[in-house]
Every structure is written in C-alpha cells, then in structure tokens.
Structure 1
Amino acid sequence: MTSVLRLENIHKSFADEGGRRHQVLAGVDLHVMQGEIVWLRGESGSGKSTILNISGLLSTPDAGRVWINGHDRTKASPRAAATVRSKEIGMVFQSSNLLPELTALENIVLASSRQLSREAVMQRLERFGLAAVADRKAKRLSGGQQQRVAFCRALINQPSVLLADEPSSGLDASNTEAILEAMRSGAESGCGVLVASHDEVFKHIAHRQLPMSEVLVEQV
C-alpha cells in the first residue's frame, strides 16, 4: 500500500494571552495508507484537532514535516495549500460548515473541482440518502443531514486523504451509521481516512487505532 499522509516528528505550541507558549504536540509521528481508516482516539483537548489541522495544511507545525502523497507540503504557501486541499484532501468537521443560504446540491457543486451535471451530483446525494433534500437550503436541513452533505462534499473530488474531526458529535444512530458507511466507501475507493474522535463507534470500522496517549510525547 502507498502512504497518502505522513506526519514526521511534528511539534506545535501556542501562546496564551500572557505570551507564554504551551507545547501541544511534541515529536508526533503517524501515517495513513491508501484505503486505510485510522482512528485517532482521545478526549477533547488532547491535541487531535491540532493534528488534523496540520494534516489538512490549515496550520503549520513549529518543526517536523507533513507529507501528502509523497510530497513534502510542510512549507506550502497559502495558495498552494488551498490547491492541495481542493484536489487531494477532503475535510469534515464537527460543524458541517455548509453555506446556509445554498442548497445541499449547490454546496456540493461549489466544492467540485470539475464541472458536474445535476444528475451526477444527484447520484452522489442519493448514496447518502439525501436526494429528497437536494434543493433544500442547508440552513433548513437537520444536523444529521447537514453532516451527511458535508461528507458528500468532502468526497466529491475523490481525494486521496479524508480528515474527519469528531464527525459523529450530536448525531443519532442512523446518521452516525451513514457517516461510517461514507468512510468505508471512501476507503474502499482508495482514500486514506484519518478520523479524530473520542466516540467508541469508530472501533467498528478502523483498521488501526492510535490513542493520543501513545501519539503524544507530552500531553496537553
């Protein structure tokens, strides 16, 4: 299998209001292979989101390297990082981050890096059980529907890496199962999935578990 994401000796600290720096990550190493689901397990505040933000090129580490599909993207410019995200990385957060005034379908079309027909987008929405609400504004969707749209949007460009940060938070069993199936489907198509969560439900689909207590040299 091919490595789609690799973090190498990552260090990250943040300054508090008084200017004192606090170490969040120290010497973190992890990798995700093509077609693999990796569960980054730990409680809130343990550094999981920081790891995902660095993996998604939304944050730059103080030291270490970030490799995406074998390319060192650690020092990518904001424009280059945005290009990598649009073509190679899909991201889903605890909040769906949909544009509220756009419909479910429009949110997905806007995220696509290529022109797609309505029929093609509808086929993807149908896989997520969302065909009936395709033309409903995102703000009118339930929380579970919004999160499913977010997964559909994240996978629309067939990324090689899918990053999901607490994606099951606040969802009922039916919607949680839908996002688990989305992850399985993504992995089966060759995507490497890194999900950060304290929710034990991900043990049912993860090929590997990475407890934060083992990933971190220093706890937050």
Structure 2
Amino acid sequence: MSETQSSRVEVLKAVGITKVYRSGTVAVDALKGVDLALYEREIVALLGASGSGKSTLLNILGGLDLPTDGRLFYRGRELSALSDAGLTEFRRRHVGFVFQFYNLVPSLTARENVALVTEIAEDAMTPEEALDRVGLASRMDHFPAELSGGEQQRVAIARAIAKRPDILLCDEPTGALDSKTGVTVLEAIVEVNRTLGTTTALITHNVAIRRIADRVIYMADGEIARAEENADRLAPAEVSW
C-alpha cells in the first residue's frame, strides 16, 4: 500500500495474544504473545509451517475462538471481553470465512447455499449478485457435485461475502486446488477486496501466493517471525507455482 501504516485505519488489533491448549498435564503454546493489526482494504498473507499458529490466530481474529491471554479489538471495541452471544453477533455481522474444504450443502444448489446466509444477514446481497461477483452467474442452479473444485470454492466465497463483511478470513482457500484453478479462486478474492473494500487475511503454505498481498506475515512456533510489505503486488494470473 502507498500509505504509511500510521495513516491506515485499524480494523482488527491483537495485543499480546496467547493461546494454550491443555491435555491433562501437557500444555501446548499455540500462540505466544502475538501483536498484529489488520487495516482497512488490505490483503495480508499469513505464511508458516504447519503448527506455526496461523489457523489458531485466524480463528481468534474471527471470533471463532478466544485467546488464553491478551486482548483483541474490532474498530476499537474489545472482542476478548464479549460473551459467546456477543462473539456470535460479531461473526454474523462482520466476518466472512473461507476454508480449504468448501462446506457446501450437497442437496442445495449454488444459489441455495448462498441463500443460507442472505436470508439471515442484514443488508445482504442477493445470492445472484454474490455469485455473479465470483463469476458464477451461469452456474447458480447447479448442485455442488455438478461443479468443479474451483467453482465450489467460489460458491463458498460468494456465501462468505454475501453479507458484505468488513473482514474476510481465508484458511488455505487454494490448498485443495491445482494452480490454474487456484488462480481463479485468488482472482475472486482479490476482486472482492477491490470492489467491496473487505479487509482480507489469507493463510497459505504456498509462498508464491504471498505476491498478491499488501503485507506478508511469517509465523514460526506461535510467534510472528517477521513481516514485510509488498511494494509491487502481482495479479493472481502472474503468480505461478
């Protein structure tokens, strides 16, 4: 991004986030005092080996899990102090999730899968608009089994963005796809970021994908090892792996 970080508007801010998982007398430190801010309209790539804490951090940022210690803020409001009902409301109103596996309902068409969200969200897009945004206008009435993996993932993206979320969190969205199909999915994510201004965090094991992001966060052993800015982002079609 051309702006300095100090001039950007913080959407999410994590301060000293730790997460400890316990099993009997065994404690596993999944996150160790993570400090991170996500800013309006940016795409952030989270990279790191399995077990580095990427998914744990993403789940906490999205209100799916609570930290063991530390504080999390959404536009200045402390999320880490909310009840379960408050976190559910935060997720419902402000966060869209996209995972490696599409989690579509097999017995529903693409249109009907997206409608599951639009029927309960405020100020939602129509399913048709959401699907059109990810290039599936001609596939709305197909069932998941009639769609390719990339098309199913784009339905999942349409479902996530239909409520016009402020934040889009993607956990390995191209992990189950070949490179050509993965590029199509990344193009949908970048287009949503461009047109809706959705703050986007993207977990990937694929280091090549970092080039589409504004910033890259490298994680190791539950900590942020380093962060870097991408002065020259690439379009998804320019990325090869």
Q: TM-score, normalised by structure 2?
A: 0.82
| Equivalent residue number for residue 180 of structure 2 | 174
1:183 Cα shift?
2.4
Ranges in structure 1 where 5+ consecutive residues have no aligned partner: none
Deviation string, structure 1 residues 79-136 (Cα, Å, up to 9, x no partner): 221211111111111111122221111111111214768xx43233133232232112
In structure 2, what is the Cα distance between the partners aligned to 1:79 and 1:96? 25
2:21/2:29 contact within 8 Å kept: yes
In structure 2, what is the Cα distance between the partners aligned to 1:51 and 1:156? 24
1:201 Cα shift?
3.3
| Equivalent residue number for residue 167 of structure 2 | 161
Deviation string, structure 1 residues 4-28 (Cα, Å, up to 9, x no partner): 1111100101123x44111111110
| Equivalent residue number for residue 79 of structure 1 | 85
Deviation string, structure 1 residues 168-204 (Cα, Å, up to 9, x no partner): 1021233212222222223223211111111123222
Taking the TM superposition and a 5 Å limit, the aligned residue runs for 1:90-109 are 90-109=96-115
| Equivalent residue number for residue 193 of structure 2 | 187
Instruction: Give the fraction of aligned pairs with identical amino acids, expressed as a percent.
Output: 37
**For the structure 1 residues 208 and 214, does the alpha-carbon distance in structure 2 shift closer, same or farther, using more than 3 Å as the test?**
farther
| 3-state DSSP of counterpart to 2:101 | coil
**For the structure 1 residues 100 and 206, does the alpha-carbon distance in structure 2 shift closer, same or farther, using more than 3 Å as the test?**
same
- Aligned AA (2:9): T
2:170/2:202 contact within 8 Å kept: yes
1:97/1:150 contact within 8 Å kept: yes
| 3-state DSSP of counterpart to 2:188 | helix
| 3-state DSSP of counterpart to 1:102 | coil
Q: Specify which of 148, 151, 157 is matched with residue 157 of structure 2.
A: 151
- Aligned AA (2:185): I
In structure 1, what is the Cα distance between the partners aligned to 2:81 and 2:106? 33
| Equivalent residue number for residue 206 of structure 1 | 213
Q: Specify which of 48, 62, 70 is matched with residue 68 of structure 2.
A: 62
Ranges in structure 2 where 5+ consecutive residues have no aligned partner: 1-7, 226-241
- Aligned AA (1:74): S
1:101/1:139 contact within 8 Å kept: no
Moved over 3 A (4+): 114-117
Taking the TM superposition and a 5 Å limit, the aligned residue runs for 1:109-148 are 109-112=115-118, 113-114=121-122, 120-148=126-154
Q: Which moved more, 1:78-87 or 1:155-164?
A: 78-87
Deviation string, structure 1 residues 12-63 (Cα, Å, up to 9, x no partner): 01123x4411111111011110011111111222111100111111111010
1:125/1:152 contact within 8 Å kept: yes
In structure 1, what is the Cα distance between the partners aligned to 2:88 and 2:141? 28
Q: Does 1:2 align with 2:9?
A: yes
In structure 2, what is the Cα distance between the partners aligned to 1:104 and 1:154? 13
